[in-house]
Amino acid sequence: MKFTEDHEWVRLEGDIATVGITEHATVQLGDLVFVDLGDADGDVSKGDTAVVVESVKAASDVYAPLDGEIIEANEALNDNPGLVNEDPLGEGWLFKMKLANAGDLDALIDEAAYKALTD
Amino acid sequence: MSDSVANDDLKLTPLFDLHQELGGKMVPFAGYSLPVQYALGVLKEHLWVRDSAGLFDVSHMGQVWLRPKSGDSLEHVCLALESLVPQDIVGLKPGRQRYAFFTNDAGGLRDDLMVAKTQDSSGQEALFVVVNGACKSDDLAHMQAEIGGAVDIEMMDSRALLALQGPAAEAALAKHYPGVSDLSFMQVGWFDGALGTVFISRSGYSGEDGFEISVAGDQADALARALLADRSVEAIGLGARDSLRLEAGLCLYGNDLDTTTSPVEADLVWAMQKARKPGGAREGGYPGWSIIKAQLEGGPNVKRVGLKPSSRAPLRPPAELFADEAMTQPIGRVTSGGFGPSAEGPVAMGYVDAAFAEPGKDLFAKQRNKAMALSVATLPFVVQRYKR
């Protein structure tokens, strides 16, 4: 599993990357009340807003971590956005994307580097 | 991301150490370092207040005594304050509190406030005024300039102000001050107890029954700890304070009210008593009277309304409002909005052209460059549960 400095995690299986936000991010955001999956579709460039997660107080963008094509969003979050808080690395995943270049993943940071960032 | 903010630019309330001990996430607010939330988080803190009782530190707010000059009467003080607000202060009964606002020459709002007719700690008849933290130095200067010649004005900088809100508030507070059970909504009084002599009003800003407690700064920490020792009471941050007041349809100065909005536009005519309205015994006589009078008689051009989004997506200020889905006809703006945990969905308030202010009217908001469907809603979003 790789991480971004924007508090996302990325897990690659074949050429499909699953993306979510870290537990650290969910603690900072608080209980999510809505996840806007509206933009999670089609070609994206690294840094594009892919989904928006909303707490009681604020809306926060979640970015595409790499170039590619978003092929699936976690529709379960429409009914239960709290899944992201309960299981951020599992059931609370946000979207899946086909990476333009699987090798790009190497540019992301590993768990140790991410931990160092948030401590 | 730092967990606490404590620098020379921010003032600390007497409860700062307690906030840190409780894990409060401190943020700058109205020049103070205050907790936006504690470990529970905004959502659960909000629900806790509606179900039980929550303790809020609102010590950033300005607490002001208005007293008669030597040999003068309280009525003179009331008349002086009436020259700045459209409320009936002369007719306010002793021991009662009233919502009021300072107006400006354009008929806009300088600040909103609470005013109580009571005695100070020495037993002298006086008015006790609570103003917003962000406005308090301007309010003090305004009062000193306009009525300082006729009234003794004292800002109580060293006192703390705690709010205890929710259905369990009375039982929790009565353990220390049994007399508070006799107060009804918007009544005030002094109470003695082992935790100090405090000035209490049965009011607040959550839509729930509750109290605001003015206490000496050096006694605030012990009082707060004693209240929090009750299992029904949790510490609640500014985040839940905001979602609670929004659900209750209450305005936040700076968001929903400002120097460009009039009380008529803000739908606060209910807070202006007959004696000060056109044809009343003491009509007018406050800043902006002619403009406010014209709006009272002819209706405002814009009006504050509740807004209920059709989807689950929260609507946030300052989203623009439109009459049509193509978003070609702008008709207003969102001034407060978010998720209402008790309303179990998104809730918002804003200003719309008067022709679009009818409850049920379908409108659109521009958010993230998309048209979001919503309708004008009746306020409040949850039933207010005051002890009348």
**pLDDT number for residue A40:** 66
Considering only CB atoms, which residues of chain B are within 8 Å of chain A?
Answer: 1, 36-37, 41-44, 46, 239-240, 242-243, 312-314, 316, 338-339, 341, 346, 368, 370
Strands B109-119 and B125-131: antiparallel
pLDDT-above-70 percentage for chain B: 98
pLDDT-above-90 percentage for chain B: 96
CB of A34 less than 8 A from some CB of B: yes
DSSP H helical ranges for chain B = 16-21, 42-51, 74-82, 136-147, 169-174, 217-228, 238-247, 289-298
Residue in B closest to A55 by C-alpha = B339
* Level-2 CATH architecture, domain B301-388: Beta Barrel (2.40)
For residue A8, what are its two tokens? 């996302």
Q: What mean pLDDT comes out for the span B241-264?
A: 98
**pLDDT number for residue B7:** 58
CB contact under 8 A, B242 and A52: no
pLDDT band for B363, please (50, 70, 90 cuts).
very high
Q: A2-118 in CATH: which number? A: 2.40.50.100
**B186-237, pLDDT tens digit by residue?**
999 999 999 999 999 999 999 999 999 999 999 999 999 999 999 999 999 9
Q: Tell me the C-alpha distance between A20 and B205, whole Å.
A: 37
Q: Is the pLDDT of residue A15 over 90?
A: no
Considering only CB atoms, B368 lies closest to which of A33, A52, A56, namely A52
Q: Are A87 and A9 in contact (CB under 8 A)?
A: no
Which amino acid belongs to residue B46? H
Q: Is the pLDDT of residue B2 over 60?
A: no
Q: Is the pLDDT of residue A119 over 90?
A: no
Closest listed residue to residue B237, CA positions, set B33, B37, B25: B37
**B260-282, pLDDT tens digit by residue?**
999 999 999 999 999 999 999 99
* B303, HSE (Cβ side, Cα atoms, 13 Å): 21
Q: In Å, how far are B132, B293, B349 from B266, measured between CA atoms?
A: 17, 14, 10
pLDDT band for B24, please (50, 70, 90 cuts).
very high
Q: Tell me the C-alpha distance between B229 and B175, whole Å.
A: 11
Averaged pLDDT score across all residues of chain B: 96
**A84-96, pLDDT tens digit by residue?**
999 999 999 999 9
Q: Return residue ranges of chain B for CATH 2.40.30.110.
A: 301-388
Closest listed residue to residue B76, CA positions, set B180, B147, B4, B1: B147
CB contact under 8 A, A33 and B314: yes
**pLDDT number for residue A12:** 95
Q: What mean pLDDT comes out for the span B141-158?
A: 97
Q: Is the pLDDT of residue B331 over 90?
A: yes
Averaged pLDDT score across all residues of chain A: 94
Q: Tell me the C-alpha distance between A77 and A91, whole Å.
A: 9
**pLDDT number for residue B9:** 86
Fold of B16-60+158-247: Gyrase A; domain 2 (3.30.1360)
Q: Is the pLDDT of residue B4 over 60?
A: no
Q: Which residue has the tokens 């300052």?
A: B318
Q: Return residue ranges of chain B for CATH 3.30.1360.120.
A: 16-60+158-247
Please report the ipTM that was assigned to this predicted complex. Answer: 0.88
Closest listed residue to residue B315, CA positions, set B370, B245, B234: B370
CB contact under 8 A, A56 and B46: yes
Q: Where are the beta strands (DSSP E) in A1-119?
A: 2-3, 8-13, 16-21, 32-36, 42-44, 49-55, 59-63, 68-73, 95-99
**pLDDT number for residue B1:** 36
pLDDT band for B8, please (50, 70, 90 cuts).
low
Q: Is the pLDDT of residue A41 over 80?
A: no
Contact list, A28 vs chain B (CB under 8 Å): 1
Considering only CB atoms, B42 lies closest to which of A57, A59, A78, namely A57
